[in-house]
Amino acid sequence: MYQQLKLENQICFPFYAVSRLIIRAYQKDLDALGITYPQYLVMMVLWEKEYLSVIEIGEKLVLNTNTITPLLKRMEQQGLITRSPSSEDQRKMMIALSEKGKAMQKEAAQIPYNLLKRLHLDKDEEKIEELKRLKSQINELIELLKTEGQVQP
Protein backbone atom coordinates (compact mmCIF):
# COMPACT_ATOMS: atom_id res chain seq x y z
CA MET A 1 0.00 0.00 0.00
CA TYR A 2 1.14 3.52 -0.71
CA GLN A 3 1.89 5.25 2.62
CA GLN A 4 0.87 8.64 1.21
CA LEU A 5 -2.66 7.29 0.69
CA LYS A 6 -3.25 6.22 4.28
CA LEU A 7 -5.91 8.35 5.96
CA GLU A 8 -3.69 8.83 9.01
CA ASN A 9 -1.04 10.47 6.79
CA GLN A 10 -3.38 13.05 5.26
CA ILE A 11 -2.98 16.68 6.25
CA CYS A 12 -6.51 17.48 5.12
CA PHE A 13 -8.46 14.85 7.08
CA PRO A 14 -8.07 16.35 10.59
CA PHE A 15 -9.29 19.72 9.19
CA TYR A 16 -12.27 18.04 7.58
CA ALA A 17 -13.11 16.12 10.76
CA VAL A 18 -12.74 19.10 13.10
CA SER A 19 -14.86 21.25 10.77
CA ARG A 20 -17.69 18.70 10.79
CA LEU A 21 -17.47 18.24 14.56
CA ILE A 22 -17.49 21.98 15.27
CA ILE A 23 -20.48 22.48 12.99
CA ARG A 24 -22.24 19.65 14.83
CA ALA A 25 -21.46 21.39 18.15
CA TYR A 26 -23.12 24.57 16.82
CA GLN A 27 -26.21 22.70 15.60
CA LYS A 28 -28.41 23.15 18.69
CA ASP A 29 -28.01 26.93 18.65
CA LEU A 30 -28.41 27.19 14.90
CA ASP A 31 -31.55 25.04 14.97
CA ALA A 32 -33.00 27.43 17.56
CA LEU A 33 -32.41 30.29 15.09
CA GLY A 34 -33.71 28.26 12.16
CA ILE A 35 -30.52 28.62 10.11
CA THR A 36 -27.73 26.41 8.83
CA TYR A 37 -24.03 26.88 9.52
CA PRO A 38 -23.34 28.42 6.06
CA GLN A 39 -26.25 30.82 6.67
CA TYR A 40 -24.77 31.67 10.08
CA LEU A 41 -21.49 32.55 8.37
CA VAL A 42 -23.29 34.85 5.92
CA MET A 43 -25.14 36.49 8.80
CA MET A 44 -21.89 37.11 10.68
CA VAL A 45 -20.40 38.78 7.60
CA LEU A 46 -23.48 40.97 7.23
CA TRP A 47 -23.60 41.85 10.93
CA GLU A 48 -20.09 43.25 10.47
CA LYS A 49 -20.98 45.19 7.34
CA GLU A 50 -24.66 45.39 6.57
CA TYR A 51 -24.50 45.90 2.79
CA LEU A 52 -22.19 43.79 0.59
CA SER A 53 -22.11 42.36 -2.91
CA VAL A 54 -22.45 38.65 -3.52
CA ILE A 55 -18.81 38.63 -4.66
CA GLU A 56 -17.63 40.34 -1.46
CA ILE A 57 -19.49 37.82 0.70
CA GLY A 58 -18.05 34.96 -1.35
CA GLU A 59 -14.52 36.33 -0.93
CA LYS A 60 -14.89 36.68 2.84
CA LEU A 61 -16.26 33.12 3.14
CA VAL A 62 -13.96 31.62 0.50
CA LEU A 63 -16.98 30.48 -1.54
CA ASN A 64 -17.62 30.61 -5.26
CA THR A 65 -20.53 32.68 -6.55
CA ASN A 66 -22.31 29.56 -7.83
CA THR A 67 -22.18 28.15 -4.29
CA ILE A 68 -23.28 31.26 -2.45
CA THR A 69 -26.07 32.40 -4.79
CA PRO A 70 -28.52 29.55 -3.97
CA LEU A 71 -27.70 29.99 -0.27
CA LEU A 72 -28.56 33.70 -0.47
CA LYS A 73 -31.78 33.00 -2.37
CA ARG A 74 -32.91 30.65 0.43
CA MET A 75 -32.00 33.27 3.02
CA GLU A 76 -34.06 35.85 1.14
CA GLN A 77 -37.02 33.43 1.12
CA GLN A 78 -36.61 33.06 4.89
CA GLY A 79 -36.77 36.83 5.25
CA LEU A 80 -33.22 37.18 6.64
CA ILE A 81 -31.75 39.29 3.83
CA THR A 82 -32.74 41.36 0.84
CA ARG A 83 -31.13 41.13 -2.58
CA SER A 84 -31.13 44.05 -5.02
CA PRO A 85 -29.13 45.16 -8.04
CA SER A 86 -26.34 47.65 -7.34
CA SER A 87 -27.18 51.25 -8.18
CA GLU A 88 -23.73 51.51 -9.81
CA ASP A 89 -23.81 48.26 -11.81
CA GLN A 90 -27.10 46.45 -12.45
CA ARG A 91 -25.21 43.17 -13.01
CA LYS A 92 -23.88 43.29 -9.46
CA MET A 93 -26.22 41.89 -6.80
CA MET A 94 -26.11 43.58 -3.40
CA ILE A 95 -27.11 41.87 -0.16
CA ALA A 96 -28.46 43.59 2.95
CA LEU A 97 -29.89 42.42 6.24
CA SER A 98 -33.64 42.51 6.66
CA GLU A 99 -35.16 43.65 9.95
CA LYS A 100 -35.54 39.97 10.88
CA GLY A 101 -31.85 39.38 10.09
CA LYS A 102 -30.80 42.38 12.18
CA ALA A 103 -32.95 41.25 15.11
CA MET A 104 -31.38 37.77 15.02
CA GLN A 105 -27.98 39.20 15.97
CA LYS A 106 -28.86 39.64 19.65
CA GLU A 107 -29.84 35.98 20.04
CA ALA A 108 -26.87 34.79 17.97
CA ALA A 109 -24.42 36.73 20.14
CA GLN A 110 -24.53 33.88 22.67
CA ILE A 111 -23.53 31.17 20.19
CA PRO A 112 -19.71 31.43 20.54
CA TYR A 113 -19.98 31.40 24.34
CA ASN A 114 -22.40 28.46 24.21
CA LEU A 115 -19.86 26.51 22.15
CA LEU A 116 -17.08 27.16 24.67
CA LYS A 117 -19.43 26.15 27.48
CA ARG A 118 -20.47 22.96 25.67
CA LEU A 119 -16.79 22.07 25.25
CA HIS A 120 -16.09 22.94 28.92
CA LEU A 121 -13.66 25.66 27.84
CA ASP A 122 -15.57 28.70 29.10
CA LYS A 123 -13.41 28.96 32.23
CA ASP A 124 -10.10 27.66 30.85
CA GLU A 125 -8.16 30.75 29.76
CA GLU A 126 -5.07 28.71 28.90
CA LYS A 127 -7.01 26.50 26.48
CA ILE A 128 -8.73 29.52 24.96
CA GLU A 129 -5.35 31.14 24.30
CA GLU A 130 -4.11 27.89 22.79
CA LEU A 131 -7.15 27.81 20.48
CA LYS A 132 -6.52 31.44 19.47
CA ARG A 133 -2.93 30.54 18.49
CA LEU A 134 -4.20 27.53 16.54
CA LYS A 135 -6.77 29.73 14.78
CA SER A 136 -3.99 32.14 13.80
CA GLN A 137 -1.94 29.28 12.33
CA ILE A 138 -4.95 27.97 10.44
CA ASN A 139 -5.60 31.47 9.05
CA GLU A 140 -2.02 31.53 7.76
CA LEU A 141 -2.62 28.20 6.05
CA ILE A 142 -5.86 29.51 4.53
CA GLU A 143 -4.02 32.49 3.07
CA LEU A 144 -1.32 30.19 1.69
CA LEU A 145 -3.93 27.94 0.07
CA LYS A 146 -5.89 30.91 -1.34
CA THR A 147 -2.76 32.23 -3.05
CA GLU A 148 -1.53 28.77 -4.13
CA GLY A 149 -3.28 29.06 -7.49
CA GLN A 150 -1.79 32.53 -8.06
CA VAL A 151 1.88 31.63 -7.50
CA GLN A 152 3.98 30.83 -10.55
CA PRO A 153 6.24 27.74 -10.25
pLDDT in tens, 83-100: 999 888 878 899 999 999
Output the average pLDDT for the chain.
91
Instruction: Report CA torsion sign: 138, 139, 141, 142.
Output: positive
pLDDT value at 26 more than 60: yes
Task: List helix spans (H) across 34-124.
Answer: 37-48, 54-61, 65-77, 99-108, 111-118
What CATH number is given to the structural domain containing 139?
1.10.10.10
Residue 2, domain member (yes or no): no
Q: Is residue 3 part of a domain?
A: no
Residue 153 reports pLDDT greater than 70: no
Domain that residue 72 falls in: 8-148
Domain count, the chain: 1
DSSP string, 121-148: -TT-HHHHHHHHHHHHHHHHHHHHHHHH
Q: Find the mean pLDDT for residues 125-152.
A: 86
pLDDT digits (tens, 9 = 90+) for 31-87: 999 999 999 999 999 999 989 999 999 999 999 989 999 999 999 999 999 999 988
